[in-house]
Amino acid sequence: MNRFNYRGDELMCESVPLQSIAEAVDTPAYVYSCTGIRENYRRIDRALESYPHLICYALKANSNPEILRDLAALGSGADVVSGGELNLALAAGFPAKKIVYAGVGKTDAEIRLAIENNILALNVESTQELEVVAEIARKMGCTAPIALRINPDIDIEGHPYLTTGKSANKFGIEIQQAKACYQWAAKQSSLKIVGVHCHVGSMIRKSEPFSKSAETLVHFVADLKSMGIEMEHIDLGGGFGVDYQTVLADQGSPWMLEPEAVIKEVLPVIQATGCELLFEPGRSIVGPNGILLTRVLFAKETKGKRFVVVDAAMNDLIRPSLYGAHHEVVPVRRRAGEQQLVDVVGPICESGDFLAKDRNLIEPQRGDLLAVMTAGAYGYTLASNYNSRSRGVEVGVEGEGWRIIRARENWIQPSV
């Protein structure tokens, strides 16, 4: 669900006016609806309740420690892609036995960390990685729990950077090779086969890629079973798409793909195996529940073009520059006036530094506050210090209350 709406002309997060947050903590600021985040997790969980399952929240979407603690307390598992994320997940209270670890380039130290902590599964992405995991576990005198990430060559028909399940992508192992890998793994005393994994992309708009993945994995699991190799779980990854145009609570569902619809299709397919079902949603849980608050610094005009220069930039939210992604930009206080066609740009020295292009906004003036909507996923986690800019503050809202959940970075000082 979405917890941002206007009360009169005042944009609110739950029951808190965003203007008051900006006045208290300054801008740029990420503001999240903690209630909305929990609600979205629970909705996916409820849709799966009739069947043994585990939701492994994908930390890469938003790894704010307070948000992680909240999700861990609800019973969520975690999907991590680095030693850093693994440490964050453990510190936030996710039980190791609910953590899966994917990624095409795990270092030896990261593999050791995962084995030491006895996580649920290392999602292995190549033959060589499998051999290295077996060798490291053998030297440690341990057994490494593994699932292979299958690349099923399924097209999500989305942005090429968000497609991960085509054979041209670097991710996973193609199915024939995976079969041989499992046969090899079954003979290694330092490996324990626990499952099979696939994640075909992010911002998936239809249920088809999920049902195709489910069918592919179910056939594969049956094939392996006939060879005497048993699986405990099937992990279908994340990727539920959200609607970047539906940004206010009264506009309807911000989910482009309702998880219930996907689950209804895949459950009967998976059920036949008796395997536990895992999903790794990220964006759908946090995306619509976060915004980036920014203040207008200047309005300027060049020949035929109007710019609104704001204090947030591509270092705060890189999605528009990186993917040409669309984020709605709305005023924190609505007022009457004439609409102008503007580009909303940041202070960074790149023409690619923009948050929105060719938008109709009502005469944005110096000092006005704007909200860049649907910025809860892949916002702060992709933020950088480019141009030596400090990362902004993160605020969590709950009903009528709010608090800082990560402080603004200190102004970067030249070292002396």
Ligand X SMILES: Cc1ncc(COP(=O)(O)O)c(C=O)c1O
Q: Which residues are catalytic?
A: 349
- From the number of C-beta atoms within 10 Å of its C-beta (0-12, 13-18, 19+), residue 232 rates as middle
Least Cβ distance, residue 384 to ligand X (angstroms): 19
Least Cβ distance, residue 286 to ligand X (angstroms): 8
Q: Select from 18-26, 54-62, 82-90, 256-264 the region that touches ligand X (CB under 6 A).
A: 54-62
Closest CA to 111 of 92, 125, 94: 125
Least Cβ distance, residue 2 to ligand X (angstroms): 17
Least Cβ distance, residue 38 to ligand X (angstroms): 17
Q: Judged by CB, which is closer to ligand X: 294, or 374?
A: 374
Least Cβ distance, residue 240 to ligand X (angstroms): 6
Q: How far is the C-alpha of 328 from the C-alpha of 371, rounded, in Å?
A: 8
Q: How far is the C-alpha of 306 from the C-alpha of 358, rounded, in Å?
A: 9
281 contacts ligand X (rule: CB under 6 A)? yes
- Footprint of ligand X on 140-199 (CB under 6 A): 199
376 contacts ligand X (rule: CB under 6 A)? no
Least Cβ distance, residue 318 to ligand X (angstroms): 15
263 contacts ligand X (rule: CB under 6 A)? no
Residue 246 neighbours by CB distance under 10 Å = 18
Tokens at residue 192, please? 């324990």
Q: How far is the C-alpha of 320 from the C-alpha of 65, rounded, in Å?
A: 25
Least Cβ distance, residue 284 to ligand X (angstroms): 6
Among 145, 152, 238, 331, binds ligand X (CB under 6 A): 238
Tokens at residue 359, please? 């938008």
- From the number of C-beta atoms within 10 Å of its C-beta (0-12, 13-18, 19+), residue 42 rates as middle
Q: Judged by CB, which is closer to ligand X: 82, or 340?
A: 82
Least Cβ distance, residue 290 to ligand X (angstroms): 13
Among 11, 12, 54, 61, binds ligand X (CB under 6 A): 61
Tokens 């999903």 belong to residue: 279
Among 14, 70, 79, 110, binds ligand X (CB under 6 A): 79
Q: Judged by CB, which is closer to ligand X: 27, or 62?
A: 62
Q: Judged by CB, which is closer to ligand X: 60, or 179?
A: 60
How would DSSP label each residue in 41-91? Answer: HHHHHHHTTTS-EEEEEEGGG---HHHHHHHHHTT-EEEE-SHHHHHHHHH
Q: How far is the C-alpha of 277 from the C-alpha of 304, rounded, in Å?
A: 55
393 contacts ligand X (rule: CB under 6 A)? no
Q: Judged by CB, which is closer to ligand X: 59, or 313?
A: 59
Q: Select from 67-75, 184-192, 213-221, 274-282 the region that touches ligand X (CB under 6 A).
A: 274-282
Tokens at residue 196, please? 């099979």
283 contacts ligand X (rule: CB under 6 A)? yes
CB 130 within 8 A of CB 150: no
In degrees and rounded to multiples of 5, residue 153 shows phi and psi of 55, 50
Q: Select from 20-28, 278-286, 349-357, 390-398 the region that touches ligand X (CB under 6 A).
A: 278-286
Which x/- pattern, by CB under 6 A, does the window 198-237 give for ligand X?
-x--x----------------------------------x
Residue 24 bridge partners (DSSP): none
H or E element that contains 358: strand 354-362
Q: Select from 128-136, 137-145, 238-246, 315-323 the region that touches ligand X (CB under 6 A).
A: 238-246
Q: Are strands 401-406 and 77-80 parallel, antiparallel or unpaired?
A: unpaired
Q: Judged by CB, which is closer to ligand X: 77, or 346?
A: 77
Residue 13 bridge partners (DSSP): 4, 16
Q: Judged by CB, which is closer to ligand X: 145, or 239?
A: 239
102 contacts ligand X (rule: CB under 6 A)? yes
Residue 406 neighbours by CB distance under 10 Å = 17
CB 36 within 8 A of CB 288: yes
CB 76 within 8 A of CB 99: no
**Under DSSP, is residue 196 helix (H, G, I), strand (E, B) or coil?**
strand
320 contacts ligand X (rule: CB under 6 A)? no
Among 36, 152, 239, 392, binds ligand X (CB under 6 A): 239
- Total binding residues toward ligand X, as defined by CB under 6 A: 17
| Binding stretches for ligand X (CB under 6 A) | 58, 60-61, 79, 102, 199, 202, 237-240, 280-284, 377
